[in-house]
Amino acid sequence: MEDDKFQMVRKTVEAYLLTEKEKTQVEALFGRHINKGQLKYLKAGHLDVLETHRQGVRFKDAATGAEMIDCFTSAGCFNVGRHNKEILEALDEALECLDMGSYNMVSPYKMAFAKKLVSLAPGDINHMMFASGGGDAIDGVIKLARGATGRKEIISTIKAYHGHTGFALSANGKEHYREHFEPLMPGFAFVPFNDLSAVKAKASKDTAAIIVEPVQGEAGIFVADDDYLRGLRQICDDLGIMLIFDEIQTGFGRTGKFFASEHSGIVPDIMTLAKSIAGGIFPNAAILYRDIDILTDYVNKNPTFHPSYSGGSDLGCCVSLKVLEFIEKDRLCENAEKMGSRLKGALIDLMRENPKIIKEVRGRGLMLGIEYIHEFMGPMMSDALAKNGVFAAYSGNAPQVMRFMLPIIVTQEEIDEVINAIRAALKSMKVLLPFALPAARIPAIRDMLNNEHIQTVLFSWIRDIEDMVKKGLKAIERRLQ
Ligand SMILES: Cc1ncc(COP(=O)(O)O)c(C=O)c1O
């Protein structure tokens, strides 16, 4: 591809559509210089879309020009919509006089954002620190809990996803992410999610923190029961343990409240925030904590225990402040609640109509998941949905669960478009079921189909064959013209 094309992309997004040959070149270069395996994985699941014309709830595939509704949103980064003009204006304005700023320096931009953010936080959470990203925020909160309590043990949940940095990876509850890097940080124990007695059995006066996602995202959209969170709060109060909520995916209106913890009324001691904190426009992340001596004393005595030059930058804080104002002004939490219940209701109807495909529908607000009967149905549905103008990905830790995490600015008409697309995708899935389901009844074949690596290889082959057929048909078409 000529360099001109990249220059053009920068100047006018309207022009950013690629020919098939150019897309192949981009992919070949991506594979060569960035990640061949990832490319294969994306292709297998029909997720190999080149995003362009990002606007509101949609983007276009630069290779086909097809419009897609974004139900993935980079797992919750675009709550305020793609390429949000108001947030971009805030960045533009900040760029006129600011850069990132020197880290750890006092700054009115950091201060303005912090003041607004803690005003929205539950209970007596009125302190914050910055971090460079989600994993870094998780590292910071585990250090904070260990440093403040002087204890070592951390309790996390099975299939939890907290990131890939040191402490965060150690708190990740899926072997898949951890296996090549053992030994990780010591002192981490894992218990089943939503199981209070398992926590009770593990928690002690050696426990520094219990960390949970109020709605598990990558694990496959599991909502924490209010009683479970209440029970965790009680255990933590009884034993002097820090309760940490990872709200990196659930924050900023995603579940129908500003923070997911508000549904239960349970106030954690410490919270992590990232992703939609800056509307998908400029990186930022935060750690929030309660106004309790054990935490404030520790931070005051150790002010540089977790610094970041990029987290809480002046530019990032201007953008993040605008995100908060935008969510409030447009009452997006209420919208997420309303649109979420419309979508969830429709998904439950579809589940009843398609018992051989959908096992369960779960979630809260616009953090919804469909669990399919078989794992291999996740990639199949991603493909079917993409063909119907919907970009939806299956969960990282549970391929049988597809997440629907649309921008929370979504309108009723757009939700209905998604529902119609899911209905159409299910119809096309049914055509394949007479072949897939009998095969899946044979345990050895089912295990094979449900194996992530085999899925990638198998679906890659199917994709190669599809691409070959497509090319063949096009060649015939050209000859006939
Ligand atoms: C719940 C949760 N915690 C932590 C992280 C890690 O964030 P990052 O990728 O910014 O390190 C993620 C990212 O997907 C997440 O969803």
Ligand 1: centre distance to CA 266 (Å): 22
Is residue 340 assigned to a domain?
no
Among 383, 145, 372, 121, residue whose Cα is nearest residue 257: 121
User: Contact 45/383 with Cβ under 8 angstroms?
Assistant: yes
Any residues with CB less than 8 A from the CB of 65 and at least 6 apart, and which?
17
Ligand 1: lining residues by beta carbon, under 6 Å? 75, 133-135, 138, 161-163, 213, 217, 246, 248-249, 274
Q: Is 441 exposed, middle or buried (0-12, 13-18, 19+ CB in 10 A)?
A: exposed
Whether 18 and 131 map to the same domain: the answer is: no
Whether 75 and 116 map to the same domain: the answer is: no
Q: Is 2 exposed, middle or buried (0-12, 13-18, 19+ CB in 10 A)?
A: exposed
Pick from 74, 211, 222, 275 the residue to mutate for probing ligand 1's pocket: most ligand atoms within 8 Å of its CB.
Answer: 275
State the CATH number of the domain containing residue 473.
Answer: 3.90.1150.10
- Phi then psi for 225, rounded to 5 degrees? -65, 145
SS3 94: helix
Which ligand 1 atom minimizes the distance to the CA of 250?
Answer: 1
- Phi then psi for 412, rounded to 5 degrees? -60, -40
Q: Which residue type, as a one-letter code, is found at position 209?
A: A
User: Contact 108/245 with Cβ under 8 angstroms?
Assistant: no
Two tokens, residue 352: 């009843």
**Host H or E run for residue 116:** helix 108-120
Is residue 337 assigned to a domain?
no
State the CATH number of the domain containing residue 250.
Answer: 3.40.640.10
Which ligand 1 atom minimizes the distance to the CA of 76?
Answer: 16
Is residue 158 assigned to a domain?
yes
Whether 199 and 257 map to the same domain: the answer is: yes
Q: Which residue stretches of 331-411 are H helix?
A: 332-353, 377-387
Is residue 338 assigned to a domain?
no
Q: What is the structure's pLDDT at 442?
A: 72
Domain assignment of residue 368, given as a range: 3-83+346-480
Two tokens, residue 276: 């939609």
User: Contact 261/61 with Cβ under 8 angstroms?
Assistant: no
User: Contact 455/449 with Cβ under 8 angstroms?
Assistant: yes
Whether 310 and 350 map to the same domain: the answer is: no
Q: Are strands 222-223 and 215-216 parallel, antiparallel or unpaired?
A: antiparallel
Whether 411 and 278 map to the same domain: the answer is: no
- Phi then psi for 2, rounded to 5 degrees? -70, 145
Whether 12 and 132 map to the same domain: the answer is: no
Is residue 334 assigned to a domain?
no
Ligand 1 atom 3: the closest Cα is on which residue? Answer: 162
Which ligand 1 atom minimizes the distance to the CA of 285?
Answer: 10
- How many CB atoms are located within 10 Å of the residue 389 CB? 18
Ligand 1: centre distance to CA 271 (Å): 13
CA-based torsion, 199, 131, 252, 321: positive or negative: positive
Whether 72 and 93 map to the same domain: the answer is: no
User: Contact 299/144 with Cβ under 8 angstroms?
Assistant: yes
| Dist CA 76 CA 405 (whole Å) | 6
Domain final residue, candidates 279, 300, 329: 329
Whether 72 and 101 map to the same domain: the answer is: no
| SS3 annotation, 438-460 | HHHCCHHHHHHHCCHHHHHHHHH
User: Contact 203/196 with Cβ under 8 angstroms?
Assistant: no
| Dist CA 31 CA 252 (whole Å) | 34
Q: What is the DSSP letter of 234?
A: H
Domain count of the chain?
A: 2
Output Rg (C-alpha) for the chain, integer angstroms. Answer: 23
Domain final residue, candidates 329, 360, 381: 329
Is residue 350 assigned to a domain?
yes
Domain final residue, candidates 295, 329, 363: 329
| Dist CA 429 CA 354 (whole Å) | 10
Two tokens, residue 362: 């779960």
Is residue 336 assigned to a domain?
no
Ligand 1: centre distance to CA 79 (Å): 15
Is residue 142 assigned to a domain?
yes
Q: What is the pTM of this model?
A: 0.91
- How many CB atoms are located within 10 Å of the residue 3 CB? 7
Distances (CA, A) of 16 to 34, 51, 63, 386, 391: 21, 10, 9, 20, 19
Ligand 1 atom 16: the closest Cα is on which residue? Answer: 249
Whether 371 and 451 map to the same domain: the answer is: yes
Ligand 1 atom 8: the closest Cα is on which residue? Answer: 134
Whether 95 and 116 map to the same domain: the answer is: yes
Consecutive 10-residue runs of the chain (481 residues): their mean pLDDT?
A: 56 68 89 92 81 95 92 97 97 97 94 98 98 98 98 97 97 91 96 98 98 95 97 98 98 98 98 98 97 98 96 98 98 98 98 95 98 85 90 79 96 98 91 71 68 64 68 75 75
Whether 350 and 475 map to the same domain: the answer is: yes
Whether 52 and 99 map to the same domain: the answer is: no
